[in-house]
Amino acid sequence: MSTNKVISSLCYFSIFFAPFILPIVVYFVVEDPGVKHHAKRSLFSHLIPAITIVVFIAFAFVPFLFGQQGEEAFLFGGGLIWLGFLVAGALNLVVLIWNIIKGIQVLK
């Protein structure tokens, strides 16, 4: 098994231990274009969970931005928060599984 395959798969598996740091370091340190390609793809896939969490936290403040106040804003905002958690959780689970599958495929 070549070192480039192991490093490429580690970029995908780094979602468990260093989601942003390892792909960035590998991208700038390793000179092989194949490894750089996998480092870049894994970095983008590691960014998806962070982006979804920020977006759905922002959705929680939408009722207040449109002038809703009191219990109405709380109920509407609470529904958006729960919907956001469900969607973000499902999306993050898909990204986690995708990273595991890609890491195994690169090792083969």
CA angle 37, 48, 12 (to 5 degrees): 40
- pLDDT tens digits for range 15-25: 888 888 999 99
Q: What is the C-alpha separation between 51 and 92, in angstroms, rounded?
A: 10
Top pLDDT among 78 and 98 is at 98
**pLDDT at residue 104 in the model:** 94
**pLDDT at residue 65 in the model:** 66
When the pLDDT of each residue in the chain is averaged and rounded to a whole number, the result is 84
Query: How many domains are contained in the chain?
Result: 1
Q: Give the position of tokens 């490093």.
A: 7
**pLDDT at residue 75 in the model:** 58
Helices 33-59 and 21-29, interaxial angle, to 10°? 150
- Mapped onto helix, strand or coil, the DSSP state of residue 61 is coil
Q: Give the position of tokens 């469900």.
A: 86
**pLDDT at residue 69 in the model:** 61
**pLDDT at residue 44 in the model:** 93
- pLDDT tens digits for range 34-66: 999 999 999 999 998 888 888 877 777 766 666
- The CA-atom distances, in angstroms, between 59 and each of 84, 85, 96, 103 are 8, 11, 23, 33
pTM, rounded to two decimals: 0.77
Q: What is the C-alpha separation between 47 and 41, in angstroms, rounded?
A: 10
Domain range for 18: 3-107
Q: What is the C-alpha separation between 51 and 40, in angstroms, rounded?
A: 16
**pLDDT at residue 108 in the model:** 85
